[in-house]
Amino acid sequence: EKCTLWDKIPLAFCVIELVFDEKGHGVDFVFRYCNEMMADVEGIPISEMINRSFYEVFELSLYTSDAAD
């Protein structure tokens, strides 16, 4: 269930799920929720963060930044 309180706060906020490798080490995380301020701070639309790993999101943003330059 979505909590609209986090949608309205003036701070970047996200909920992440930590991904572990076979040895139990944290190796990545997946964005499960991001508010609009998180999108503003990162410069990436919410739709491009939700249910994607950190490395997918920021690899994507690096390519997007390179293309814009």
pLDDT band at 4 (very low <50, low <70, confident <90, very high): confident
Token pair of 59 as six digits:
């690899």
pTM exceeds 0.95 for this model: no
Nearest 5°: CA angle at 40, between 65 and 11? 145
The pLDDT assigned to 7 comes to 85
Task: Determine the residue type at 60.
Answer: L
Q: What is the pLDDT of residue 6?
A: 83
